[in-house]
Amino acid sequence: MSSAEQKMLDSYYRLLGGLSPAMKLNLIERLKKSIKSPEAITTELEDAFGAWHSKEPAEELIQSIRSSRNVNRQIEEL
């Protein structure tokens, strides 16, 4: 375990130290279930990254984006 991981673990331990014994046991059970769970949980942040998936070829996608652009050269006064 790296020193950064150890510091994080110590911080959580101090944070959770004030919980009642029943709450600590409940937390332990939840942590056990999360470790035993075979499915990986992805967050919205993780889903935001990665390759673009589309059946449409890149050239068609580029053309579609360019054709949908709307240029408005009217300057509004502030």
* Residue 77 forms part of a structural domain: no
* Residue 73 forms part of a structural domain: no
Q: What is the pTM of this model?
A: 0.43
**Mean pLDDT value across residues 41-52:** 70
Under 8 Å between Cβ of 26 and 19: no
Under 8 Å between Cβ of 16 and 24: yes
Domain that holds residue 59: 3-67
Model pLDDT for residues 16-44, shown as the tens digit of each residue: 989 999 999 999 999 898 888 666 566 66
Query: pLDDT band at residue 46, thresholds of 50, 70 and 90?
Result: low
50 vs 7, higher pLDDT: 7
Tokens matching residue 40: 């990986």
Under 8 Å between Cβ of 52 and 62: no
Q: Give the chain's domain count.
A: 1
* Residue 75 forms part of a structural domain: no
Work out the angle at residue 10's Cα, subtended by the Cα atoms of residues 5 and 15, and round it to the nearest 5 degrees.
125
